[in-house]
Amino acid sequence: AIDNYSHSSLPFEVHHSSYLCGYMTSINSTCLNIDLSFNLLTIKNNFTLTPISPDYIQILPTALFKKLSSSIEHTTDLNQPCFGYCSLDRASKNKILLTLENDPQACSLPLVGIWVSNIVNIQSTFVWAACIRYYMNSSLQQRLRSGINSQQSFLLACFLSTLHNQWVFYEVYSIQTNSTSLMTMGYDVWTCSKTIIIPNSALNQFDLNTSAQVPYDFEFK
């Protein structure tokens, strides 16, 4: 399911980058014994980012670019990270054109990377998931250009919420591991188990509101 989603053109959502499956068994005797087991499947592909000087990147001042760059006039949008594509504008000399993920013209333009906005720092999970979507999306492969050089890199343009009206740029490379090729999805499986014992006396006085406030920590290994 994760692989199919990452290779698809479905709307981008971070939670599709992992899969959690849980099991529960219970025995009710003098007390209620609940055994919980979870398996968490996560993508193991990683990327390395190299900063690029803004002097080398020119972005066309479109309405979208101005909206993304305005952290004052559009405060209602600041709580939601955004993602889209960077393409080359045919009418200019290789200037970068920002497009939304669902923009019809993004389906015909040559792509050189992605942009993200409304994130606190570059190590955000949203940034990583956006890189996965761009790199693995099979519907984009025929339109992807090599990035800054010929080594399958691509451009990442970020508008950080912690920086006022300032874009930062990175060249992104996929990190190849021993078990994954550059264009293959790799996975890690994490497990966790916990036993919860609830005395019958506590069950007889069960209060949903107060019980919901009792935290249980789960550590995946």
> Does residue 61 form part of some domain?
yes
Residue-level pLDDT at 11: 64
State the total domains in the chain: 2
92: containing domain? 46-175
Is the same domain home to 21 and 51?
no
Is the same domain home to 98 and 24?
no
> Does residue 216 form part of some domain?
no
Phi, psi of 16 (to 5 degrees): -80, 0
Is the same domain home to 170 and 199?
no
Is the same domain home to 100 and 141?
yes
Residue with tokens 């959690």: 20
Positions of the chain with pLDDT lower than 70, given as ranges:
1-14, 17, 71-79, 106-107, 138, 141-151, 163-165, 176-185, 200-215
Neighbours of 139 (CB within 10 A): 11
Nearest to 82 by CA among 11, 144, 19, 148: 11
- In tens, the pLDDT along 132-190 reads 888 877 677 656 555 444 457 899 999 887 766 678 999 998 886 555 455 566 778 88
pTM over cut 0.85: no
> Does residue 15 form part of some domain?
yes
